[in-house]
Amino acid sequence: MIRNKHYVAGIDMRPLLSWRLIAISSIGLSLMMALMACGQGEGRTRKETVLNVVMYSYLDRPVHDIIFNGTDLGVMNSYGGTGTISGVRIPFAVQTLIWELGGPEGMERNGEDVRVKNEIIISSEKIPAGTRYIGLDLYPDDTAEITFAEFIPDRSARGRKILAARK
């Protein structure tokens, strides 16, 4: 009779042991990968989000070269809008916003680059669940306001007052 730990009743058990070891290892590896995937976002904070941006202007002149955090958002007519700019990366930080004032030749401040005067801060905690759009409203005093929306945002309350006073 053969006396070896790999033989039972004269049958070589090494192939069965290796398959068992492979099966158990595979199951363990699969479970570990699943657990790692579940905790993927934990311990790591997101630094930005991607949203669609709709801009509105309450200036009585065209606005050119609107740059929001390095993304060119286009141009707007007097009291106009840009339409929707899709997939804009927005960092969770103080936002940068610059635009160029347009208008007819000789108009005051024509061609001047304007940097938003007020501080606009976006953090993950400030963005409501379901948000897919931000409204970015430019005001005549070189300030701006951001609103969050699930669908295309409306003009801001301050902007609606400016438009009503204009009529």
pLDDT given at position 32: 63
Q: How long, in residues, is the chain?
A: 167
Residue 167's pLDDT band (boundaries 50, 70, 90)? confident
First vs last C-alpha separation in the chain: 107
Answer for the pair 57, 88: CB distance below 8 angstroms, yes or no: no
Q: Identity (one letter) of the amino acid at 94?
A: V
Q: How far is CA 12 from CA 9, 17, 19, 25, in A?
A: 9, 10, 13, 22
pTM of the complete model: 0.71
Query: If phi over 0 gives left and psi between -120 and 50 gives alpha, with beta otherwise, what is residue 79?
Result: left
**pLDDT exceeds 80 at position 68:** yes
**pLDDT exceeds 60 at position 17:** no
Average pLDDT, the chain: 85
**pLDDT exceeds 80 at position 159:** yes
Residue 23's pLDDT band (boundaries 50, 70, 90)? low
3-class secondary structure per residue, 9-24: CCEECHHHHHHHHHHH
Per the DSSP assignment, residues forming a β-bridge with 51 are 88
- Residue 158 CA, chain-centre distance (Å), reads 25
**pLDDT exceeds 70 at position 86:** yes
**pLDDT exceeds 70 at position 49:** yes
Sheet containing 81-91: order of strands = 81-91, 48-57, 133-138, 144-149
**pLDDT exceeds 60 at position 150:** yes
Residue 163's pLDDT band (boundaries 50, 70, 90)? very high
Tens of pLDDT, residue by residue over 31-44, are: 666 555 544 444 55
**pLDDT exceeds 70 at position 139:** yes
pLDDT given at position 83: 86
pLDDT given at position 45: 73
